[in-house]
A and B are shown apart, each in its own frame.
Chain A
C-alpha cells in the first residue's frame, strides 16, 4: 500500500487560504479525505483522484487528502482490500470505472463493485475509431463492407483484451451480425505502441478514447471514422456510429465509490461533497483542460447504472469468449 501526503499541495492550499483570508461559504465538512486508487500512480484513475483532491482543496471543501495506490490487474487487486479492510471507514472514497467492471468479470473476481456503495459517476470518455491517413476507408460503411467480406482482414489496434476498446470492437461486430470472437483484435500494452502501429500503417484501424487520438487526428495523421457517443459531440466533426447505421453506444466512465458498511448520513455527506465539487468552476476548468466529459450521476440512478453495466459488460465479454 502506498500512502503519501502531498506536502507540496498542502502548503499550496495553506498559502492560498492565507492569501484569500476566507474562502467561499462552503462548509469544510471533512478534515482529511482518504482517496483509494486501485491503480499505479500516473494512470487515469490516479489522475482523477489527484484532480479531485486538488479541486476539493482549492474549494476548501476538505482540509487535506491522502491518496492510497494499490495497483494491479485493472483494479482486481485493490478492490478486495477496499471492500474488506476499508469497510465502514469514514471520509473514504475509491476511484474506479468501467475498466474495473470488465477486469473483475474477466478475472472471475470473487468481489465486485456492487459490494461497495456507489457514490457518483463523474467523467466519461467516448471511443473513436480511426484509420491511418492514407487508408482507403473514408467512413464506417466501407470499413464494415470489408469486415463483412472477410472479418479477419480488418485488424483492430487497441488496449488489452477485454478492455473498453476490445468491448467496442465486439459490439460493432455483433451489431453487424458477425461473431465478435472472429474480429482480428490486436492488443497493445499502451497508447504509444498502438498509435505507432497506426501511424506506421501496420493495422487497418484503431480504437481508443478520443483523448488518445485527438492530436494525431488534428494533425491529419489519422482519420476518425466514428465516435461511440449517442449524438455528435460539439466541436468535433465526427459522425456517430448510430448515424452510420451501427446501433452501438459506449463510453468509458469513471466514478467514485464508498466502502461498504457506512451510515446513510455519511453517504449523504460524501454525495453532497461530490455534487458541490462537480458544480464548481475549478472542476469545470479541469474537465476542459483534460478533455474529460462531465457526466454526473448520483444516488439510486448511479447504483442501478452500476448493476446494468455489470450485466451488459458480462454479456459482451461472453460474446468475445473472455468470460
Chain B
C-alpha cells in the first residue's frame, strides 16, 4: 500500500498545470525527434541540458521522460510509412510495418503500433512502479556469461528473417557481424577494419546501416526497375483503422511483447533492440498465419513495438533504483541530476521521493497524452503514401540524408549511407535478405564483448557458460528454439 500512497503523491506532483505542460511538451517533442532518423532522445536531452539552470528538477525530468517515451512512439511512424527507421529499436517494426503500408494497411499498422506502445508503456510503467526492486535483483544476476548466452538466444531469432535460402541469409548475417566489428575494440583499444579513417574508430552507426539498406537500397532498386512497370503503393485499402481481426491478432502480441521487453530493458546491458528481435521471432512462431510474415503480418508490428516501449520503462528501473545509467539516454538524464546537485544512487528513491514518484506518475500521464496525440495523426500520416512514387522516394532520400547527417554531422556517415545503400540495392537485386545484416550488426559485437569479458573473468574457462544456472537455462532455451520446431514436426510426422 505504501507504493500506492507514494504513487498518489507522485500524481499530485505530476498533475500540477506546469508539470502537465512540461509533460506535453516532452511527448510532442519526443514524437517529432523520434520521427527523424539520427536525432535521438539522448542527443535531444543533451542539447536541452542548459534548461536545468532555469527549470526546477521535477519539471525538467518530466520533460526529459516525455521526450524519451515520445521518441519510442515516433520512431515507428517512419519505419512503417517510409521504411526509414528513426530509432534502432524500431528497425524490426519496419519489416512487417512497411509491407502493411504498401498494401494499403498503413493506418492499421500505425494504430497497432500506437495502441501497442500505449499498452506496453503502461504495463512497463506499472512494472517500474511495483516490481522495480525484484526486477533489479534479477537483473544484477546477469554477468557476462549470462549476457553471452542471452545473445546466443537472440541469434536464433535470425532464423525468422533468413528468407528462402539459408546460405544467403547467413551471408547477410556475417556481413552484419563484420560491420559490427569495425572500430576500436573495447577490450584492447586496437582499431579493427578502420582503414585509417578516424571517423570509423567509433564504429558504424546502426541507424546509418538500417536507413542505407532499407530506405536508400529500396529507392535505388525501385528506380532501377522503373521502366519495367512499378509496384503499386496503396495509400488506404478498405478501412483506415484496425479491423476486428486486427484487434484479435494484436492484443496477445502486445502483451507478449511487453513481457519480453520490460525485463530485458531492465538488464544493465540488455538494450532495446534485443527484445524486439525476440518478440518478432515469437510472433512468427506463434502466429496462426506465419506465411503472412514478410508480407505484412500485423503481429510483426504489434509485438516488437510493444517490446520496445516496455523496454524503455525497463531501462528506468536500474536508473531510478540504483542510479545506474544503462543507456545513452539514461546516462544523460543522470548527468542532469548532477546539475541540480543531486547524486543519483541507491538512495535516490528515499532522498528524492517527490521527484522520482512525480516522474513515474508523469510516465502514466505521458502515455495517455501520446495515445491522444498519435491516433488522430494517423489519418494525416497515411496521406504521405498518396504522394506519387517518384516524388515520395525522392523525398525519402532527402529525409534519409538529412537524418543521417544529423547523427554526428560527419560527411563520412553520408558516404557510408550511400555505399551501404548500393549494397542494399545489390542484395535486393540478387535476393539476399537485408534484416539479418541488422541483427548481426547489433548482436555480433555484444556477443563478442560479453564472451571476452566472461573469458577474462573466468581465466579462459569455457565451462562457465554451462556451470552458471542462468546461463545454462538461456542456452537450453536457445537450443530448444533452434531445434524444437524441427523436432516437433519430425515427431508429429512419425506418429
Give me the interface of A with B, judged by CB distance under 8 Å. Answer: 1-2, 4, 6, 8-9, 12, 40-42, 46-47, 50, 54, 70-73, 76-77, 80, 106-107, 109, 152-153, 155, 160-162, 166, 184-193, 195-197, 199-200, 202-203, 214-216, 218-219, 221, 289-291, 322
Q: List 19 A-B contacts (CB under 8 A).
A: A6-B50, A41-B43, A41-B332, A42-B335, A54-B53, A72-B410, A77-B201, A107-B191, A109-B198, A160-B189, A161-B189, A190-B331, A196-B139, A196-B269, A199-B324, A216-B346, A218-B345, A219-B345, A322-B190
Besides A186-B457, A322-B190, 8 new A-B residue pairs in contact (Cβ under 8 A), listed by A number: A40-B43, A41-B49, A42-B49, A72-B410, A73-B201, A107-B184, A186-B187, A219-B347
Complex Cα–Cα for A221 and B190 (A)? 34
Contact across chains for A289 and B341 when beta carbons are under 8 A apart: yes
The residue of chain B having its C-beta at the shortest distance from the C-beta of A221 within the complex is B346
Contact across chains for B268 and A214 when beta carbons are under 8 A apart: no
Contact across chains for A193 and B343 when beta carbons are under 8 A apart: no
Contact across chains for B456 and A184 when beta carbons are under 8 A apart: yes
Question: Is B463 interfacial (CB-CB < 8 Å)?
Answer: no
Complex Cα–Cα for A188 and B147 (A)? 13
The residue of chain B having its C-beta at the shortest distance from the C-beta of A288 within the complex is B341
Interface residues in B, total, Cβ within 8 A: 58
Complex Cα–Cα for A73 and B189 (A)? 10
- A197: which of B143, B198, B327, B328 is its contact (CB, 8 Å)? B143
Which residues between 293 and 336 of chain B lie within 8 Å of chain A, taking CB atoms?
318, 322-328, 330-332, 335
The residue of chain A having its C-beta at the shortest distance from the C-beta of B51 within the complex is A8
Contact A186/B346 with A8-B50, A73-B202, A161-B186 known, Cβ cut-off 8 Å: no
- The count of A-to-B residue pairs whose CB atoms sit within 8 angstroms is 167
Contact A192/B318 with A4-B47, A6-B50, A186-B456 known, Cβ cut-off 8 Å: yes
Contact across chains for B187 and A47 when beta carbons are under 8 A apart: no
- B324: which of A2, A186, A192, A218 is its contact (CB, 8 Å)? A192
Question: Is B408 interfacial (CB-CB < 8 Å)?
Answer: yes
Which residues between 32 and 58 of chain B lie within 8 Å of chain A, taking CB atoms?
42-43, 45-47, 49-51, 53-54
Complex Cα–Cα for A112 and B165 (A)? 50
Contact across chains for B186 and A215 when beta carbons are under 8 A apart: no
The residue of chain B having its C-beta at the shortest distance from the C-beta of A153 within the complex is B459
Contact across chains for B457 and A47 when beta carbons are under 8 A apart: no
Question: Is B142 interfacial (CB-CB < 8 Å)?
Answer: yes
Contact across chains for A203 and B457 when beta carbons are under 8 A apart: yes
Complex Cα–Cα for A203 and B184 (A)? 23
Contact across chains for A192 and B142 when beta carbons are under 8 A apart: no
Encode contact with A along B337-351: 1 for CB under 8 Å, 0 otherwise: 011010111110000
CB distance from B359 to the nearest CB of A (A): 18
Complex Cα–Cα for A216 and B346 (A)? 6
CB distance from B40 to the nearest CB of A (A): 11
The residue of chain B having its C-beta at the shortest distance from the C-beta of A12 within the complex is B54
Question: Is B243 interfacial (CB-CB < 8 Å)?
Answer: no
Question: Is B144 interfacial (CB-CB < 8 Å)?
Answer: yes
Complex Cα–Cα for A215 and B322 (A)? 9
Contact across chains for B409 and A1 when beta carbons are under 8 A apart: yes
Give chain B residues whose Cβ lies under 8 Å from the Cβ of A72: 198-199, 201-202, 408, 410
Give chain B residues whose Cβ lies under 8 Å from the Cβ of A9: 50, 53
Give chain A residues whose Cβ lies under 8 Å from the Cβ of B347: 215, 218-219
The residue of chain A having its C-beta at the shortest distance from the C-beta of B460 within the complex is A152
Question: Is B140 interfacial (CB-CB < 8 Å)?
Answer: yes
The residue of chain B having its C-beta at the shortest distance from the C-beta of A70 within the complex is B409
Contact across chains for A42 and B324 when beta carbons are under 8 A apart: no
Residue picked from B50, B139, B341, most chain A C-beta under 10 Å: B50
Complex Cα–Cα for A153 and B449 (A)? 19
Give chain B residues whose Cβ lies under 8 Å from the Cβ of A219: 345-347
Contact across chains for A193 and B269 when beta carbons are under 8 A apart: yes
The residue of chain B having its C-beta at the shortest distance from the C-beta of A80 within the complex is B198
Give chain A residues whose Cβ lies under 8 Å from the Cβ of B191: 107
Question: Is B188 interfacial (CB-CB < 8 Å)?
Answer: yes
The residue of chain B having its C-beta at the shortest distance from the C-beta of A189 within the complex is B186
Contact across chains for B186 and A187 when beta carbons are under 8 A apart: yes
CB distance from A140 to the nearest CB of B (A): 20
Contact across chains for B331 and A42 when beta carbons are under 8 A apart: yes
The residue of chain A having its C-beta at the shortest distance from the C-beta of B140 within the complex is A200
Complex Cα–Cα for A215 and B352 (A)? 14
CB distance from B438 to the nearest CB of A (A): 20
Question: Is B141 interfacial (CB-CB < 8 Å)?
Answer: yes
Contact A152/B341 with A41-B49, A161-B188, A219-B347 known, Cβ cut-off 8 Å: no
Question: Is B448 interfacial (CB-CB < 8 Å)?
Answer: no
Complex Cα–Cα for A70 and B43 (A)? 13
3 smallest A-B Cβ distances: which pairs? Answer: A215-B345, A41-B46, A196-B268
CB distance from B36 to the nearest CB of A (A): 15
Encode contact with A along B178-201: 1 for CB under 8 Å, 0 otherwise: 000000111111110000001101
Complex Cα–Cα for A189 and B457 (A)? 16
Question: Is B453 interfacial (CB-CB < 8 Å)?
Answer: yes
Complex Cα–Cα for A150 and B383 (A)? 67
Complex Cα–Cα for A72 and B338 (A)? 24
CB distance from B201 to the nearest CB of A (A): 4
Give chain B residues whose Cβ lies under 8 Å from the Cβ of A185: 456
Contact A192/B268 with A161-B188, A202-B143 known, Cβ cut-off 8 Å: yes
Give chain A residues whose Cβ lies under 8 Å from the Cβ of B144: 186, 197, 202
Complex Cα–Cα for A221 and B456 (A)? 24
Contact A215/B343 with A153-B459, A199-B322 known, Cβ cut-off 8 Å: yes
The residue of chain A having its C-beta at the shortest distance from the C-beta of B340 within the complex is A289
Contact across chains for A47 and B50 when beta carbons are under 8 A apart: no
Contact across chains for B268 and A193 when beta carbons are under 8 A apart: yes
Give chain B residues whose Cβ lies under 8 Å from the Cβ of A200: 139-143
Give chain A residues whose Cβ lies under 8 Å from the Cβ of B338: 289-291
The residue of chain A having its C-beta at the shortest distance from the C-beta of B43 within the complex is A41
CB distance from A181 to the nearest CB of B (A): 10
Complex Cα–Cα for A110 and B379 (A)? 55
Give chain A residues whose Cβ lies under 8 Å from the Cβ of B142: 196, 200
Complex Cα–Cα for A1 and B343 (A)? 32
Which residues between 121 and 150 of chain B lie within 8 Å of chain A, taking CB atoms?
139-144
CB distance from A187 to the nearest CB of B (A): 5
CB distance from B96 to the nearest CB of A (A): 31
Complex Cα–Cα for A199 and B139 (A)? 10
Complex Cα–Cα for A50 and B332 (A)? 14
The residue of chain A having its C-beta at the shortest distance from the C-beta of B343 within the complex is A215
CB distance from A70 to the nearest CB of B (A): 8
Contact across chains for B456 and A107 when beta carbons are under 8 A apart: no
Contact across chains for A186 and B331 when beta carbons are under 8 A apart: no
Which residues between 1 and 59 of chain B lie within 8 Å of chain A, taking CB atoms?
42-43, 45-47, 49-51, 53-54
